Structure 1
Amino acid sequence: MSSTDTLSTLLAEPLLPWPEQWRVAEQAALLAQAREIERVGGPDAYWEWVAKKFRWMRPWDSVRDGNFPEFKYFAGGMLNVCDNCVDRYAEDPYYASRPAITWEGEPGDCATLSYAQLRTATARFANGLRSLGVGQGDVVAIYLPNMLESFVAIQACNRIGAIYTVLFAGFSADAAALRLQTSRAKVLVTADASYRRGKQVPLLENARKARRSAPKLEHIVVIDRTGAAPALHDGETGYKELVDAQSDDCPCVPLEANAPAFLIFTSGTESKPKGVVHSVVGFLLGTWANVQWQVGPAKDDVYWCAADVGWLTFPIQAVIGGLAHGASLVCYEGALDTPGKDRFYQIANRHHVTKILIAPTALRMLRALGDEVAKANRIDGLRLITTQGEPLDPETYHWTSDTLGDQLPIVNAYGQTETGSTWTYPVYGVEPLKAGSCGTPVPGHAYRVLLEDGSIAPVGTKGALVLTAPFPTLARTVWDDHQRYLNTYFGRYPGVYNTSDEAVVDSTGQLWVLGRGDDVINVAAHRLSTMEIESVVASQPGIADAAVVGVSDAVKGTVPVAFVTLVAGAPVEATVGQICAAVSDAIGTIARLEHVFVCKALPKTRAGKTVRRLLREIVETGEAKSDLTGIEDLEVVGNLIREVAARKRP
């Protein structure tokens, strides 16, 4: 069987109408209205329709000026993101006392902020930042785990026009320092420590080390997370003391629509972090639309974005997009399987969660923990699982739908750090579902799949995924390096935005994103997609999680190897044999796996992404020499090195 045959089998998943019991008439009507506006007036008319849902301080002069790669939206218009996410709800009698954020820490402590309380907290902290010399355009770095203060800090920056950048709480001192240097952050907001897998992560200690290499950093604001009351050094201020000394009165600053609001560093392999910049209005409008179509928030929903604040998904779905809808959000600090296998389910049930966003790898982790755990902790009232960040294999889709609910809808969405939102998926409550696919573009977005020569790829044929029209949420530049922005995203295919991902469109018009274009390996002069091989491996019985990478080979140039974790009770040798046979049968002997490494866990970032470069490095060198700062659990790395060495030993 050829590689094309395998892809055809994958694309042949049935297209299913949205389950009748989950259909939402109001969402269908709203989507019909949006699509009709776009049909008649084009994407700009649609984005103007979205813009009119917000409170503006000055109307815009034009909807859009320019085109790729230089464009603006709503030029001349002035508004404030915090005003639209917090104040307008705090002023509404229905929303004022409604929970905005319900927080749970890994040790089990809980707290809640209503919209009125969130408004007071953001105003006080915004005044606190001003007292430290922060003004419009200054950069504030937020080096925090998932905490109530993460929401407060981001919205306080929005309130006064400071540019915020969020650093993973799992970053080492060196990784944090590099981003502080690059962003020229004036203030860093952190905690004395955070809790992760039963341990304390020394955030303040890391921040102090990082500060030595960040000469522009003037102040560190320290939240006492653990109750240890750490002694503060010169240039450090206690969060509680700072906010207690401030007034509740802090008017929202009018900001021009295209002013920079949010700086986020991509997690690529380049030595220098690449900070992409999102605009004030673009990010607000795009994230509102993203949550509307992907999650379909209703007044009785409790929405849990089970991701880390350092992953762009969290600001999109929770801090900006979620609050822009007046949603009631759940925020959890720690690991989803700590201290026990049922923690994920406990959180969802304790806080009456109705909709959850979670990464595909986290779903595979839940599957590996066992069906019996899921069935014993059924989440009452769950209406949706939505996922993004990595390709979702059909096997995980079906397990999630069948095990976590009865035909529970699974919305699989695709986007990038640079796009500032996901832009293709089945609209919640309305559009048909297909296991593993990313649906079709939501209003305001257009794409093509191109062959190497720039022509449009036929149906069923893989190609480069590009976006053919601008939209407000797309990043406008790379921090301090606009030429890098132009070269990276517009150099390969002039006039369109290059995602650098491979994709294919099936006969029903559904888009399948297969992974990075550079995840294609040459085996004896044959081009093979590691994601395609991985899909075959992941679909085999007994596999809980899988990753396939290409490693150097003296004869063939590159060969594929697989890393797998098994469900409880799966026989190791029989499963390995089954995997190898399945890959050869499905794709051909040219794709034969050189090794299958059975391991306890794969190395993940806190965003739930498998770090494939690290797998490749361990196989080729027997060591982990590259950057480990974003790894969720460093013990996994040591275990992998030993497991790979044992498997390769004659």
Structure 2
Amino acid sequence: MKIFTVSEAKKKNSIISEEDFNSEYQESINNPESFWQKKAEETLDWFSNWGEVAISDMETGEVAWFKTGKLNACFNCVDRHLENHANKTAIIWEGDDPNDNKEISFQELHKNVCQFANLLKSRNIKKGDRVCIYMPMIPEAAYAMLACARIGAIHSVVFGGFSIESLKDRILDSDCSAVITANEGIRGGKLIPLKNNVDEALKDCPNVHSVIVVNRTHSALINKNEVDVDYYQDIENFDADCPCEEMNAEDPLFILYTSGSTGKPKGVLHTTGGYLLGAALSHKYIFNLKEDSIYWCTADVGWVTGHTYIVYGPLANASTTLIFEGIPTFPDVSRFWNVIDKHQVNIFYTAPTAIRALMAHGNEPLQSSSRDSLEVLGTVGEPINPEAWEWYYHEVGKGKCPIVDTWWQTETGSIMISGLAGFSDQKPGCAGKPFLGINPALVDEEGNEIEGL
């Protein structure tokens, strides 16, 4: 099997050396309490400390991290960066139309999130309430997630491509009291009837008292009643300051449903402290994140990849994250590559399905871009076959960008197995080694560990 190595020059530019990471890994396995205590203190800002680092009972499945410690995810993603990074770009938004884009600084992000949080509070949404977010990939989707986190409401993001029935099931299962949506979405030049879908779903959801609608298009779909709220009409009426709710580390941050491919969708609940630490630390180490990195994960916030590696991980690290509304083939199959050049993207994280679809068009669509800004490539969502891996490495990255092939799932919240872009050898089709704190094992149907030869 072929092995691709990171150049010595790149290794010298790694944010952590292989030797130091291996030492940290061993510490995370052998002395997890002291290791995670230190990482939690270094990585996140806390309002008050915890009693015990971790409490776990694998027989009952009960696990708690930093119990009684207090923090707020929005504070860690926005407020704490204002002193040193207020004018730094937090979000680059690239619309479905290549001419439609904007940059949002951390200062602007703070204003928008606070106003959104105050809007939610005006609708009597409070700590512990569940809020469904059914949105296109526009900045307001991130504002909505962070606004919920700011006031302690639990968001449940539903992918904007899901059906009325799927939306209804998720609203009912988590007993949401509010829905945040757009009048319509735009993907590949086509309109997505989000508000109409919400209206149909809510016929069977009697506990929803508020529907906040962001007008993405000119279609007038907001009803004149006590339920619908016109976001753009009302948002400037709200103060640009909103205090962060102090959350226990084990307070819920969000609910996210698996796709339901094996039956009824299953809601996964992630709490605040442990999740945010995993998101921030894995994003920083695995992608070899630098202070000036421009980072683009092509996922949708309707999936866990979008939660962890578009919103919470990058913003916790004060990184610039790109949010993309469109699809890789609109207006042509060069779209991804042209966006990379346009915004000088350094780190690019996408799915093998997209890579294979673009590879099928050959190399000609690559000719309109240089992609010289790229430093790291990543894959997520499924195994990548060696043929697609090599095309991605040689043609997209021009043989100079390490690929991190990441393995994890909705239930884990962040990456569990992956190489590190700064130094790891790469084998096409192989994910790599376990991340900090992960001690993987294979078990048989009875739960007995299988020993390798």
TM range (shorter): over 0.9
CA shift digits 1:71-116 (9 cap, x unpaired) = 2111110000111110011232xx1101000101112311111001
Q: Deviations over 1:584-627 (max 9, x none)?
A: xxxxxxxxxxxxxxxxxxxxxxxxxxxxxxxxxxxxxxxxxxxx
The CA distance in 2 between the partners of 1:46 and 1:397, in whole Å, is: 34
- Give how far 1:346 is off: 1.3
Residue 434 (str. 1) matches residue 427 (str. 2): yes
Shift of 1:122: 0.7
Q: Give the Cα–Cα distance (whole angstroms) in 1 for the partners of residues 260 and 37 of structure 2.
A: 34
Which 5+ residue runs of structure 2 have no aligned equivalent?
Answer: none
Aligned to 1:145: 136
Q: Tell me the residue number matched to 1:44.
A: 33
Letter in 2 for 1:421: S
Match of residue 539 from structure 1: none
Partner of 1:218: 209
Cα root mean square deviation, aligned:
1.7
**For residue 104 of structure 1, what is the aligned residue in structure 2?**
94
- Give the counterpart of 1:422 among 405, 415, 424: 415
Please list the CA deviations of residues 295-353 of structure 1 after superposition, one character each: whole Å capped at 9, or x if unmatched: 12101210001111111101111210010100011111011110111111111111110
CA distance in 1, matches of 2:417, 2:262: 27
Residue 18 in 1 paired to residue 6 in 2?
Answer: yes
Instruction: Return closer, same or farther for 1:261/1:401 CA change in 2, 3 Å cut-off.
Output: same
Partner of 1:196: 187
User: Residue 383 of structure 1 corresponds to which residue in structure 2?
Assistant: 375
1:158 aligns with 2:149: yes
Partner deviation per Cα, 1:15-64 (whole Å, 9 max, x = no partner): 4432334323432176256335326x522332222211211111101101
Measured after TM superposition, the shift of residue 424 of structure 1 is 0.4
Q: Please name the residue that 2:68 is paired with.
A: 76
Aligned residue in 2 for 1:401: 393
Partner residue in 2 for 1:207: 198
- SS of the residue aligned with 1:262? strand
- Give the distance between the partners of 2:241 and 2:231, measured in 1 at CA: 18
Give the counterpart letter for 2:252 in structure 1. P
Q: Counterparts of 1:542-621 in structure 2 under 5 Å? A: none
Query: Contact (CA 8 Å) 2:311, 2:321: kept in 1 or not?
Result: no
Question: What secondary structure, in the 3-state scheme, does the structure 2 residue paired with 1:380 have?
Answer: coil
Q: How does 1:152-551 map to 2 (within 5 A)?
A: 152-234=143-225, 235-407=227-399, 408-452=401-445, 454-459=447-452
Question: Structure 1 CA distance, aligned partners of 2:269 and 2:446?
Answer: 31
Report the 3-state secondary structure (helix = DSSP H, G, I; strand = E; otherwise coil) of the residue aligned with 1:101.
Answer: strand
Amino acid at match of 1:51: A
In the alignment, what sits opposite 2:46? 56
The alignment partner of 1:252 has SS state of coil
**Alpha-carbon distance in 2 for matches of 1:195, 1:357:** 22
**Letter paired with 1:43:** P
2:442 aligned counterpart, secondary structure: strand
Name the amino acid aligned to 1:74.
F
Quote how far apart the aligned CAs of 1:145 are: 1.5
Partner of 1:512: none
- Contact 2:195–2:221 under 8 Å retained in 1: no
Q: 1:37 to 1:455 in 2, by over 3 A?
A: closer
Give the number of equivalent residue pairs.
445
Q: Give a deviation string over 1:158-195, Cα, whole Å, max 9, x none.
A: 10000001101001212111111111111111001111
Q: 2: CA distance between counterparts of 1:85 and 1:174? A: 33
Aligned to 1:91, the other structure's residue is in SS state: helix
Which stretch shows the higher mean deviation, 20-29 or 103-112?
Answer: 20-29
Residue 102 of structure 2 corresponds to residue 114 of structure 1: no
Deviation (angstroms), 1:453: 5.2
**1:376 Cα deviation from its structure 2 partner:** 3.8
Normalised by the length of structure 1, the TM-score is 0.66
Kindly provide the amino acid, as one letter, of the partner of residue 196 in structure 1: R
